Amino acid sequence: MVSFCSVISHSFHCVPLPTPNTSHFVRRNNPLRCQYPLSPHPSRFLRLPWGRESPSTRIRASITDVSVDVAVEIKRLPKGEAWSVHKFGGTCVGNSSRIKNVADIIINDDSERKLVVVSAMSKVTDMMYDLVHKAQSRDESYVSALDAVLEKHSSTAHDLLAGDDLATFLSQLHQDIGDLKAMLQAIYIAGHATESFTDFVVGHGELWSAQILSLVIKKNGTDCKWLDAREVLIVNPTRSDQVDPDYLESEQRLEKWYSRNPSKVIVATGFIASTPQNIPTTLKRDGSDFSAAIMGALFRARQVTIWTDVDGVYSADPRKVSDAVILKTLSYQEAWEMSYFGANVLHPRTIVPVIRYGIPIIIRNIFNLSTSGTKICHPSIIGDEDRQILKNYVKGFTTIDNLALVNVEGTGMAGLPGTASAIFGAVKDVGANVIMISQASSEHSVCFAVPEKEVKAVAEALQSVFHGALHAGRLSQVAIIPNCSILAAVGQKMASTPGVSATLFDALAKANINVRAVAQGCSEYNITVVVKREDSVKALRAVHSRFYLSRTTIAMGIIGPGLIGSTLLDQLSDQAAILKEEFNIDLRVMGIMGSKLMLLDDDTGINLDKWREVREEKGEVANLEKFVQHVHGNHFIPNTVLVDCTADSVIASNYDDWLRKGIHVITPNKKANSGPHYEYLRLRALQRQSYAHYFYEATVGAGLPIISTLRGLLETGDRILQIEGIFSGTLSYIFNNFKDGRVFSEVVAEARDAGYTEPDPRDDLSGTDVARKVIILARESGLKLELSDIPVENLVPEPLRVSASAQEFMQQLPKFDQELTEKLKDAESAGEVLRYVGVVDVTNQKGVVKLRRYKKDHPFAQLSGSDNIIAFTTRRYKNQPLIVRGPGAGAQVTAGGIFSDILRLASYLGAPS
C-alpha cells in the first residue's frame, strides 16, 4: 500500500511518503506532513485544493502552513463594529438566481466591511455524504453521483459567470472532482472511510459555493476575496458530535491570512474547519451557523445576521400553532433555552461565541426582506419598544417528541450518597442523552427523560447496575414510561414571577392534559413538563393560547340544529370575525348533528354561512359516538365543548361521560338537571372535581341571568328564602292577554299561531316545563327534591290530556273555557290578575307550580308580551325582593343565552375578558 500527501502551492506538488500502519500526522522541520493510507496505486496522488488565494504560500500539510516564501507587506486585520457578518444557508444559495440575490444583498449592505459565511448549495451536503456512503459500500454508482455534483455546480457557474472567472472556476472544479474521484476510489477499494476523509469530501460543497459567490460579487465591481475556513478556523474535537473552537490559534491564523488577502468583503466557507494537527473536520450539526458566530467573535463584528427561509423566531412552531407570532427580541439565554428544547431557532452552541462580546444575532428571511426578523441579544441593549415585550415573561413554547421517562424508585434511595451518580453513570456508559431530570426532595425517586430509541439500553444498564438493590428491595422498580413529549415554556425571569407556573398548569388542566413530570431550574428561564406524546400539540396550543399569544380556540359540536340550534349557528356566524379580531376567541364548529343527519369537518371548522346546504350535500347518517369522537378527537385544538340544543333525555344521559373525558357541556336542555337527584349531584360533583365546565343558564330563563344571579347570591354568603317567578314565556303571553272578556281557548290559539307555544300547546299548558325549572332552582338552592315532589296545576282539562292530536285538542278546548273564565272574573272583580307561577319555598323546603292571583300593582302584574320575571327573596333582599325581568321565550333570546355561556367558557379557558 502506498501513502499520499498533498503539497500545496501555486502549482500543486505531490510527495509520496512511507506507508504507515495507521493514519497519523508528523511534524518535521515545519512544514507539516500528513500520512494517509489511501490507494494501492502509487501513480494516483491526491491533490488537496487549499490556499488558492495565496499563490506565494507553499504548504506541506493536510491544510495549511504558516511559512511564507516571499516577503509581503503586513496588513493588520481591523476588528470591530465596522464588520457585519452574514450567514446564508443552503436554501439561500440553492440555485443561480438565489446566489445572485445573495450577492445583491451583500452589495447593498451599507456596512463598511462585510464577512459572508456560506453553506453548500441546497442538497449538496447530502449528495457528498451519499458519495462516501456509496463508495464505502462498494456501490459503483458513486461515479455517476459525482458526475451529478459536477453538473450541478458547472451549470450554476455557466449561469452566473463568464470569461476568465468562469474558466478559472471550472478548471478548479474539474481538478477537485478528479481529486475526489481518486479518494472515493480508494475508499471504494478499502471499503471504509475515516471521519477525516469523510469530512474532507463533504467540505467541498462549501468551497465551491464560496468561490462562486465571491466571483459573482467581484463581477459587480466590489473587491471581494474568498476564505477557505480550514486555513484559519481551528477546533478541538471533544466528542463525535461536538467541537470546541481554539480562539487564540484561530485569531493568529486569521491575522496572517488577512495580511495576505486584505479586503472589505470576504466570503468564507461555513461548516468546515481544521484540527490543531491540520486535519480537515467539520463543525457538525448546524455548523454554518456556528461558523458565522465564531467569525463574528473573531472579527468583533457589530452583528451577525443569519439568513434563512422563515421570518424570525416564533413563539411556537407555526406548523403546530397556526397563530404563533414572531418574537421581535430574545435574550441570549431565552434563545439558548428554546434551541435546546427543540425550537427551530439556532443550535445552542451557536450563541456561545457571541455572548462574550455582546454581539447581536439577527434571524431574517431572505425571501421576505420587508420583515425585520428576530434580534437575539443581551437585555441591556434591547430598545424601549422591545423592552416592553420582556414584560411578557413567557416568550415562547417548544416541544420535543419521541421521548421516554425512566423512573428509578425505592425507599432505599433516600439519603444514600452515590445513588444519582450510579444512575447517571450507567446512562453515560451506554451513550444515552438525558434531556430532563426531575427528583423529589424526599429522594425517594429519580425521574429523567431520554430519547425513546435509547431507552431500552438505559433500562438494561440500570437493571444490571442495581440488580442487587432490586433483589434486596432497596429499590422497588426501574420503570419505563414510553410515548412521552416534553413541553418547555421559556421566558426572562419567568420562574421567579408569581403566577406563571400556576397559569401554565391551569391551562394544561383545563385542556384535560395530565402532567407526568416537572422540572424547573434556578436559571429562571424555563419550566419543563412531560406529557403524553399524543397530547403534545394539544398541550402546546393550550398553553400558547392561555398566555395571550394566540386566540383561545375551542372545538364545538352542535347537537340539535332545530329552531334554537340553527339560530345559535346563525349568531355564531355573524359574530365569528369580531370574536377573532377583537376578543381573540376562535370558535370552530367541527360538527352539527340532527336526529337523522350529521355534518363533520376538519380542524378548520364548518363554514357557518353555508352549513345547511353543505349538510344536505355532504351529510352522513347521524351517529352520536362517531360525532363526539370527531369533535373531541382533534388533538390540535386543546378545548372541546358540546352544545346540546335538544330536549332529548337520551342525549342528556351522556353528559356524565362527556365531562369525565374533559369535554365541556353547554345546554338549554332541562332533562339532566331535573332528572333523578343523584344524577344531578353526580354532574355537579364532576364539574367541581375536573376542569370540564357544565353551563346551563338557558335551562331556566332562556337569555336571562337566573342561574348566575342565584349562584352569586349564594357564593357571597346570602341565604335564599324564596324564589317566585313566571318562568314560561308561553304562559306569560297567554295570561298577559287573557283579560277584557277574552276566552282562554282564543288566547291559546293566538299564541300558537304567533309561534309562542310548542307545536302541541299541551306541552306548555301542562306545567311540566315550569316544574322542571322550579326543581332546577330548588336544587341549586340546596334542596333535595325530586320532580315528583313538586305539585303542578295542570291547565289542560283532564278529558283532553289523552286527545289523539294537537289539532283535536285545539278543537275541543273551547268546551272547557268556563272554568278559567270564572277564575278570571273573580280576580278582576278583586282588582287582581291571574299569573301562572312557580315557587321555590326554601324555608319550608318545598316547591309548587300553580295559577295565582296578584294585585295590579304587583311586579308580576306589570308584564307584557312573553316576558319572564323572577323574584329572589333572601336575607339581604327580604323586604324588597331582587327582581330579574326580561324576554323569557323565543329562539333568539334562548340562543343568546347559550352563546353567553359559550363566551363565559372561553373566558374561563383564557380569553381576555
Catalytic machinery residues: 773
Q: Which of 99-113, 224-238, 804-818 has the lowest mean pLDDT?
A: 804-818
3-state DSSP call for residue 364? strand
Mean pLDDT of 262-267: 96
% of residues, the chain, pLDDT over 70: 87
Q: How does the average pLDDT of the chain come out, rounded?
A: 86
3-state secondary structure 581-615: HHHCEEEEEEEEECCCEEEECCCCCCCCCCHHHHH
Contact between residue 79 and residue 251 where contact means Cβ atoms under 8 Å apart: no
Task: Please give the pLDDT value at position 747.
Answer: 95
Q: Under a CB-based contact definition with an 8 Å cutoff, are residues 296 and 353 in contact?
A: yes
Q: Is the pLDDT of residue 66 over 80?
A: no
User: How high is the pLDDT of residue 901?
Assistant: 95
What's the pLDDT band for 817 if we cut at 50, 70, 90? very high
Residue count (the chain) = 913
Q: Higher confidence at residue 551 or residue 381?
A: 551
pLDDT of 570? 96
d(CA 452, CA 736): 72
Task: Give the pLDDT mean for 429-434.
Answer: 90
The helix (H) or strand (E) run that includes residue 834 is strand 832-841
Beta bridge partners of 599: 592
Per-residue pLDDT at 301 exceeds 80: yes
The pLDDT assigned to 491 comes to 87
Q: Are strands 329-331 and 374-377 parallel, antiparallel or unpaired?
A: parallel
Query: What global pTM score does this model have?
Result: 0.69
Rounded Cα–Cα distance for residues 95 and 205 (Å)? 13
Digit-coded pLDDT (tens) for 367-424: 999 999 999 998 765 555 444 444 467 888 999 999 999 998 887 666 667 778 888 9
Rounded CA separation 118/211 (Å): 10
Residue entry with cell 488565494: 53
User: In the structure grid, which three cell numbers stand for residue 2, read together?
Assistant: 502506498
Q: Where residue 52 falls among pLDDT bands split at 50, 70, 90?
A: very low
Q: What percent of the chain has pLDDT over 90?
A: 64
Please calculate the CA angle 542-546-551 and round it to the nearest 5 degrees: 85
Strand partners, 726: 869
CA distance 214 to 99: 10
Residue-wise pLDDT for 695-713, tens only, equals 999 999 888 999 999 999 9
Q: Does residue 723 contact residue 872 with C-beta atoms inside 8 Å?
A: yes
302: amino acid identity, one letter = R
Q: At 912, is the pLDDT very low, low, confident or very high (cuts 50, 70, 90)? A: low
Neighbouring C-beta atoms of residue 490, cutoff 10 Å: 28
The pLDDT of residue 889 is 72
The residue type of 702 is A
Average pLDDT over residues 848-869: 93
Integer Cα distance of 792 and 322 in angstroms = 54
Encode pLDDT of 630-669 as tens digits.
999 876 788 899 999 999 999 999 999 999 988 999 999 9
Give me the pLDDT at residue 861, please. 93
**Average pLDDT of the residues in 291-308:** 96
- Better-scored residue on pLDDT, 323 or 55: 323
Sign of the four-CA dihedral 178, 183, 186, 191: negative
Question: What pLDDT, on a 0 to 100 scale, did the predictor assign at position 703?
Answer: 85
- Looking at residue 380, its pLDDT comes to 63
**What pLDDT score does 20 carry?**
33
Average pLDDT over residues 253-275: 96
